[in-house]
């Protein structure tokens, strides 16, 4: 997955480059800067002294020394004042410059902390949004795996309003689905386990209802050849068809889905490829499929959207609200402790 949000100490990341949230002197400080200098050893400071500082919104690169990465990119984020002093532009520029430096040094994997969101006071949710938007945009044009490393969970918070809306949506759908489902199933078992003559007056109709509600058996094919000839369009075929219908290129689709190019090639070359459920959902979101189409695509891969599962309800919420931003959806999934989509 080209963009991943992980919880870790950035000094432990085994990537080509990690990004430091530095200050314009580049001579070290507290926060993540202090951690990186301590883990890299004094040679890092020696090299930093030769760089002559760095202006806010920009970045410079050094070796990684005792860190498990090859390079450290020192980015200088803005101090938060009130949001009206060009803070977002400067922060975006930090991410862009760092990504361009990483590209120039042929880095395939890069890890960022949430620049400016600690000592410099940038509100964490806005810092995260700026990071996700800027990195997401860069990844539409470049092949790289980028990690946003967050230290404390509270950094990864969707807005309170969105959180409450989704929570309410989950409550409505989760509870309703469970009650409905359980009642029907137990009613079905009760009625089917007793002889018809024991049914209470009027229950004949209930049996019919319950039988209709029960899963129906598929029509049996006469021979194996018959059965095989009934094979439907596969997941991979549906995906490629939808990409054509949407007049997208393959790259536009897999990048928007936050899916790795290699994984996409596998899917493309194997018509019976069996994807994971989050991968199918990532493509459904990238293709902006309706709820019906999403369900159809899931079914082709052997999955369904269930009302007994928070992950599924959150996905349904976003599709129903016409919000197909994979990064925002992942923020919401993360906030509700669900696995993320893509990859
Ligand atoms: N790994 C990942 N993230 C971390 C780590 C770590 N080891 N340690 C802290 N964070 P900050 P800033 C998170 O204060 O706001 C320094 O003195 C932390 O939770 O390190 O850009 C510099 O020299 C927060 O979300 O950087 C500058 O003077 C994020 O990293 C000034 O601080 C950034 O917090 C820069 O302030």
Distance CA 304, CA 237 (A): 18
Tell me the CA–centroid distance for residue 252 and ligand 1, in Å.
34
Block mean pLDDT (10 aa), the chain, length 343: 82 97 97 97 98 98 98 98 97 98 98 96 88 89 90 63 73 60 41 44 40 45 70 91 96 89 93 92 95 95 90 93 86 82 64
pLDDT digit string, tens, across residues 328-343: 888 888 888 888 876 4
33 as an active site residue: the answer is yes
Distance CA 342, CA 256 (A): 10
- Calculate ∠ Cα 161-166-170, nearest 5°: 150
Q: What is the pLDDT of residue 221?
A: 65
The structure tokens listed for 295 are: 């369900």
Tell me the CA–centroid distance for residue 174 and ligand 1, in Å.
39
Q: Whose CA is nearest to atom 8 of ligand 1?
A: 32
**Is the CB of 78 inside a 6 Å radius of any atom of ligand 1?**
no
Q: What is the pLDDT of residue 202?
A: 45
The residue with tokens 């946003």 is: 148
Give the containing element (helix H, strand E) for 139. Answer: helix 124-141
- Calculate ∠ Cα 47-53-57, nearest 5°: 120
**Is the CB of 30 inside a 6 Å radius of any atom of ligand 1?**
yes
**Is the CB of 26 inside a 6 Å radius of any atom of ligand 1?**
no
**Is the CB of 114 inside a 6 Å radius of any atom of ligand 1?**
yes
Q: What is the pLDDT of residue 237?
A: 95
- Compute the radius of gyration of the chain from its Cα atoms: 26
The structure tokens listed for 301 are: 């891969």
CA distances from 234 to 157, 231, 245, 253, 270 (A): 37, 8, 16, 18, 10
Q: For a substitution probing ligand 1, which of 18, 31, 131 has the most ligand atoms within 8 Å of its CB?
A: 31
**Is the CB of 116 inside a 6 Å radius of any atom of ligand 1?**
yes
Distance CA 330, CA 157 (A): 11
Measured in degrees and rounded to the nearest 5, phi and psi for residue 114 equal -85, 90
Q: What is the pLDDT of residue 340?
A: 80
Distance CA 298, CA 305 (A): 8
Query: Taking the chain, what is the end-to-end CA distance rounded to the nearest angstrom?
Result: 4
Sort 171 into a burial class: Cβ within 10 Å, 0-12 / 13-18 / 19+. Answer: exposed
Give the contacts of 228 (CB within 8 A, at least 6 positions apart). none
107: nearest Cα among 58, 57, 72, 66: 72
Tell me the CA–centroid distance for residue 111 and ligand 1, in Å.
13
Note the pTM of the prediction, 2 decimals.
0.66
Q: What is the pLDDT of residue 109?
A: 97
Measured in degrees and rounded to the nearest 5, phi and psi for residue 338 equal -105, 160
130: nearest Cα among 167, 90, 168: 90
Give the containing element (helix H, strand E) for 112. Answer: strand 109-112
């Amino acid at each position: 997955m080209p963009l991943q949000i992980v919880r870790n100490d950035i000094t432990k990341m085994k990537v080509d480059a990690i990004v430091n949230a530095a200050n314009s002197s580049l001579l070290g400080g507290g926060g993540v800067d202090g951690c990186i200098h301590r883990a890299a050893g004094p040679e890092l400071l020696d090299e930093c002294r030769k760089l002559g500082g760095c202006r806010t919104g920009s970045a410079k690169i050094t070796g990684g020394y005792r860190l498990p990465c090859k390079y450290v990119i020192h980015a200088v984020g803005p101090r938060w004042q009130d949001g009206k002093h060009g803070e977002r532009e400067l922060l975006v520029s930090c991410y862009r410059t760092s990504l361009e430096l990483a590209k120039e040094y042929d880095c395939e994997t890069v890890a960022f902390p949430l620049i400016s969101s600690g000592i410099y006071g940038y509100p964490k949710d806005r810092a995260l949004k700026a990071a996700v938007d800027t990195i997401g945009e860069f990844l539409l044009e470049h092949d790289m795996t980028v990690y946003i490393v967050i230290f404390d969970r509270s950094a990864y918070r969707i807005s309170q309003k969105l959180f409450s809306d989704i929570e309410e949506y989950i409550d409505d759908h989760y509870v309703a689905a469970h009650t409905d489902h359980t009642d029907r199933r137990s009613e079905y078992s009760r009625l089917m386990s007793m002889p018809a003559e024991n049914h209470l007056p009027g229950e004949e109709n209930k049996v019919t209802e319950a039988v209709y509600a029960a899963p129906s058996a598929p029509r049996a094919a006469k021979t194996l050849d018959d059965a095989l000839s009934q094979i439907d369009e596969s997941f991979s075929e549906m995906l490629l068809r939808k990409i054509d219908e949407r007049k997208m290129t393959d790259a536009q689709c897999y990048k928007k889905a936050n899916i790795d190019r290699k994984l996409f090639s596998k899917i493309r070359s194997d018509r019976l490829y069996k994807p994971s459920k989050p991968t199918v959902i990532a493509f459904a979101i990238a293709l902006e499929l309706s709820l019906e189409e999403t369900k159809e695509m899931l079914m082709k891969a052997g999955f369904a959207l269930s009302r007994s599962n928070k992950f599924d309800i959150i996905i349904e919420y976003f599709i129903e609200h016409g919000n197909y931003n994979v990064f925002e959806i992942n923020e919401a999934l993360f906030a509700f402790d669900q696995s993320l989509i893509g990859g």
